[in-house]
Amino acid sequence: MSYNAVGVLLAAGESSRMGRPKPLLPWRGTTLVEYQMNSLLQGGCDQVIVVTGKYDAEMSPLLDDRTGVVRAYNPDYADGKATSVRAGICEVPDGVHSIVLLAVDQPRPAWVIERVLKVHTDFGAEVTSPGYDGHGGHPLVFDSSMRSELAAVTEEGEGVRAIFKRPDLNHHRVEFESAIVRLDINTPEAYEKALATFAELARQYG
């Protein structure tokens, strides 16, 4: 079976700054991990690979037996995000056109994912990413030809950032009019603020 797009959702971290598991935080009537899975599926991913780690046991009831969702446990999660990228990429099936990379603490409504993915498909760049006010955001969408580079990222080599430093990289940025593409939830304060502002941030314009 071939897929047009597969999402890789990074949810293996220790949530040390948050003080409780980020994937299980209440979010928009569900949990953060389920919200993100649903957004990726509704935004155009045929399958979502959720990379788990520290809280694998707590998350497994939410992931197992879910249509279109694959749980990929990363035993090396404590060694950094690059290990989770590699663990997720290992599970991407052959025949995929695009790989959508997103972290669980970067909540994105489905329309954001859909827009970046559509532009990526239309333009045919190696990497497509959203931007706002001169800064890059997430999700990152990679052409399947980038798979081997993603599978080789290391923590010492700056992870995925190393790919963006490649001078010949064909990278297309999609400009957004909302800071939604920059939202990142790392601390209890950031979580509370995001809860209060997300509905307005996530509103689709145009």
User: Model confidence over 143-156: pLDDT tens digits?
Assistant: 999 999 999 999 99
CATH fold, domain 5-200, is Spore Coat Polysaccharide Biosynthesis Protein SpsA; Chain A (3.90.550)
- Mean pLDDT for the chain? 95
- Residue 204's pLDDT band (cuts 50, 70, 90): confident
**pLDDT at site 2:** 56
For 107-133, give one letter per residue: b (16+ CB within 10 A) or e.
bbbbbbbbbbbebbbeeebbbbbbebe
Q: Is residue 8 pLDDT above 70, yes or no? A: yes
Q: Name the pairing type of β-strands 135-136 and 127-132.
A: antiparallel
- Which one, of 21, 52, 22, 49, lies nearest residue 37 by Cα? 49
Local structure of residue 33 (DSSP, 8 states): H
Mean pLDDT of 115-127: 96
**pLDDT at site 200:** 94
Q: Is residue 40 pLDDT above 70, yes or no? A: yes
Q: Is residue 103 pLDDT above 90, yes or no? A: yes
Q: Is residue 171 pLDDT above 90, yes or no? A: yes
Q: Is residue 165 pLDDT above 70, yes or no? A: yes
Per the CB < 8 A criterion, the answer to whether 146 and 152 are in contact is no
Q: pLDDT of 60-101, one tens digit each?
A: 999 999 999 999 999 999 999 999 999 999 999 999 999 999
- Residue 205's pLDDT band (cuts 50, 70, 90): confident
Give residue 93's region: left, alpha or beta (phi > 0; psi -120 to 50).
beta
Q: Is residue 113 pLDDT above 60, yes or no? A: yes
Q: Is residue 185 pLDDT above 60, yes or no? A: yes
**Side chain identity at residue 198, one-letter code:** F
